[in-house]
């Protein structure tokens, strides 16, 4: 049972790393599509951050990596929803499969999945009552005094 749980955790973590790399690849595709230059720099920066999150997720089950994935995914969703379509060139057609708007829609979808998985992992990992996981239990005032 323990081996199956550990295997599932590794497969899930690496699947999320693959999602992060896919999101980074979508950002690179948008950057290469000839979008407005300042937004191209931001897009390349976001692609690098996707790669960084993927690397941390692939390496190990660190809670800090899951927090970074959740925050970056939520930041990407918020940025794209607030910016709207202003970073899409006027010549791009929304119906084109390779257009920036279609690519960014796919990237936002991936970010939503990443954020949901990361929040679920964070929630699950921080609900353990044992003091051996990430310090003392948050439910015990006595444990906090000894921490």
pLDDT of residue 88: 47
Give the tokens for residue 72. 């970056």
Whether pLDDT at 134 is above 70: no
pLDDT of residue 59: 87
Gap between the terminal Cα atoms of the chain:
32
What domain range includes position 66?
15-145
Give the tens place of pLDDT for each residue, 45-90.
Answer: 888 988 888 998 888 768 888 898 899 899 888 887 887 654 444 4
Number of domains the chain contains: 1
Split at pLDDT 50, 70, 90, the class of 1 is low
pLDDT of residue 144: 42
Residue 9 inside a domain? The answer is no
Residue 7 inside a domain? The answer is no
Residue 10 inside a domain? The answer is no
Residue 108 inside a domain? The answer is yes
Residue 113 inside a domain? The answer is yes
DSSP one-letter code for 90: T
Closest-CA residue to 104 (of 43, 54, 51): 43
Residue 3 inside a domain? The answer is no
Give the tokens for residue 50. 């996707």
Residue 31 inside a domain? The answer is yes
DSSP three-state, residue 122: helix
Split at pLDDT 50, 70, 90, the class of 129 is low
Whether pLDDT at 113 is above 90: yes
Residue 1 inside a domain? The answer is no
């Amino acid at each position: 049972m323990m081996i199956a749980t550990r295997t599932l955790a590794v497969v899930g973590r690496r699947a999320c790393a693959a999602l992060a790399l896919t999101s980074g690849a979508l950002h690179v595709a948008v950057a290469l599509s000839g979008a407005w230059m300042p937004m191209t720099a931001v897009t390349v920066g976001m692609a690098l951050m996707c790669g960084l999150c993927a690397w941390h997720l692939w390496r190990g089950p660190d809670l800090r990596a899951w927090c970074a994935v959740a925050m970056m995914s939520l930041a990407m969703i918020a940025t794209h929803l607030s910016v709207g379509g202003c970073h899409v060139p006027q010549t791009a057609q929304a119906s084109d499969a390779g257009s920036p708007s279609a690519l960014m829609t796919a990237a936002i979808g991936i970010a939503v999945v990443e954020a949901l998985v990361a929040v679920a992992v964070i929630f699950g990992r921080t609900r353990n009552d044992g003091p051996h996981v990430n310090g003392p239990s948050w439910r015990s005032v006595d444990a906090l005094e000894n921490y």
